[in-house]
């Protein structure tokens, strides 16, 4: 028994089912030797009550009904679910890979409002239920390539962004689509604490050119592995653009706005020389601080698994998207 909570409603060690949080706690404790758990945790500066609270409750996901899609289906092996939901980038919940899963389990997704507005004839707002009921959900198995040179293969559930945009009837002034993540420092510790949130000015904002947004591959995802999204993966709704670096795939979206000029996006504002607006996966254009020629595929294998693979142009989706960038200098427009 590592942590004893006095709260009657809390679970004890053997009842905690989230393997990741369990492993994470074990890592912290193992790394520090064999003294009593409470003094060890105090020594790391990790508040004992915060960890105990996180491990008591786990966000509940719900099975979804969906159809299979063959759109750009990949034959790569799926990344195991426990890795997809425990190795995350979601700086609103902390900038370390394990922090989103640890710090987001109490995140409230219902009620939710997703506002679709801007240069459209029919603006509308969707509530939580409508995210799942307005469009037929399909499963799309896509590669996700993070700009940090790791990748996964994830079975997403969702619908085409194009279908949502068409419903709003964009007018001729609509040239770009701007996306915004929820801003709620009370629920998102990375928004309340600049250090924890990686120095980002929130809310997180992303954008696409309208033709990119209307491409058949561009998905609004409401689930993965057959169930609703867990918070660490962007519940209740997030973007998925599989030919672009992962930071374009903005999470927990509250606003989709059709705009006339290229929006200022979060990572581009933070370091314009490192993160471009387009962010198309390109093994020939290196990040200023590291190569993009290869990537570490996250698999079921352990630390020593041979999983370094070559990165493909447009992450392997050139047939579907290369035409969008015809005649463009991709070194300049990275
Ligand atoms: N709002 C928000 N969206 C975000 C991020 C973030 O920090 N905040 N991180 C991005 C990055 S860098 C990546 S690689 C993907 C990771 O998605 P995953 O955790 O579901 O694998 O989410 C993207 N979307
Ligand atoms: Mo990323």
Residue closest to 48 by CA, chosen among 56, 37, 35, 59: 37
Residues 6+ apart with CB under 8 A from 175: 209, 210, 259, 260, 261
Reported for 285-289, long-range contacts at CB under 8 A and 24+ positions apart, including other chains, are 285/330, 285/331, 285/334, 287/147
Residue 51 pLDDT: 41
Residue closest to 196 by CA, chosen among 51, 49, 45, 92: 92
Max CA distance (Å), the chain: 67
Nearest CA to ligand 1 atom 23: 247
Residue 70 pLDDT: 78
Pocket test for ligand 1, best of 95, 247, 254, 265 (most atoms within 8 A of CB): 247
Nearest CA to ligand 1 atom 10: 247
3-state secondary structure of 120: strand
Spatial separation of the C-alpha atoms in residues 228 and 63, rounded to whole Å: 6
Separation of 275 CA from ligand 2 center, angstroms?
Answer: 11
pLDDT tens, residue by residue, 51-94: 434 555 899 999 999 998 878 878 899 999 999 999 999 999 99
Enter the CATH code of domain 19-325: 3.90.420.10
Q: Which two structure tokens, joined as six digits, stand for 222? A: 């409401």
Predicted TM-score of the model (pTM): 0.85
- Residues in the chain, pLDDT under 70: 1-56, 303
Spatial separation of the C-alpha atoms in residues 161 and 141, rounded to whole Å: 16
Nearest CA to ligand 1 atom 4: 250
> What is the average pLDDT score of the chain?
86
Nearest CA to ligand 1 atom 7: 90
Write down how long the chain is.
334
Residue 203 pLDDT: 98
Spatial separation of the C-alpha atoms in residues 86 and 100, rounded to whole Å: 8
Nearest CA to ligand 1 atom 16: 89
pLDDT tens, residue by residue, 243-277: 999 999 999 999 999 999 999 999 999 999 999 99
- Kindly report the number of other CB atoms within 10 A of residue 180's CB atom: 21
Which protein residues touch ligand 1 with a CB less than 6 Å away?
88-92, 144, 146, 181, 204, 233-234, 246-247, 249-251
Residue 234 CA: nearest ligand 1 atom is 20
Residue 233 CA: nearest ligand 1 atom is 20
3-state secondary structure of 46: coil
Residue 312 pLDDT: 98
């Amino acid at each position: 028994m590592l942590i004893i909570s006095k709260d009657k409603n809390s679970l004890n060690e053997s009842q905690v089912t989230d393997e990741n949080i369990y492993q994470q706690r074990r890592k912290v404790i193992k790394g520090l030797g064999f003294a009593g758990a409470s003094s060890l945790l105090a020594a790391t500066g990790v508040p004992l009550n915060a960890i105990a609270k996180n491990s008591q409750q786990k966000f509940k996901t719900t099975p979804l009904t969906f159809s299979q899609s063959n759109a750009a289906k990949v034959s790569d092996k799926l990344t195991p679910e426990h890795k997809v939901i425990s190795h995350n980038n979601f700086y609103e919940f902390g900038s370390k890979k394990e922090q989103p899963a640890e710090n987001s389990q109490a995140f409230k997704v219902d009620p939710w409002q997703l506002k679709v507005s801007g240069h459209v004839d029919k603006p509308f707002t969707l509530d939580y239920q409508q995210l799942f009921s307005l469009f037929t959900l399909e499963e799309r198995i896509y590669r996700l390539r993070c700009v940090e040179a790791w990748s996964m293969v994830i079975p997403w559930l969702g619908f085409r962004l194009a279908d949502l945009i068409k419903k709003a009837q964009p007018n001729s002034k609509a040239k770009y689509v701007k996306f915004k993540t929820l801003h709620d420092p009370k629920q998102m510790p990375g928004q309340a604490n600049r250090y924890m949130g990686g120095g980002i000015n929130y809310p997180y904002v992303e954008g696409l050119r309208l033709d990119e947004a209307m491409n058949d591959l561009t998905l609004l995802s409401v689930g993965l592995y057959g169930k609703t999204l867990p918070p660490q993966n962007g519940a209740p709704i997030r973007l998925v653009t599989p030919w672009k670096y992962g930071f374009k795939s903005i999470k927990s979206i509250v606003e989709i706005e059709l705009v006339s000029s290229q929006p200022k996006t979060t990572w581009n504002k933070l370091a314009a020389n490192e993160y471009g607006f387009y962010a198309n996966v390109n093994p020939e254009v290196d990040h200023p601080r590291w190569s993009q020629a290869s990537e570490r595929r996250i698999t079921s294998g352990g630390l020593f698994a041979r999983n370094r693979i070559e990165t493909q142009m447009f992450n392997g989706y050139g047939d579907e998207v290369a035409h969008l960038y015809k005649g463009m200098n991709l070194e300049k427009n990275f």
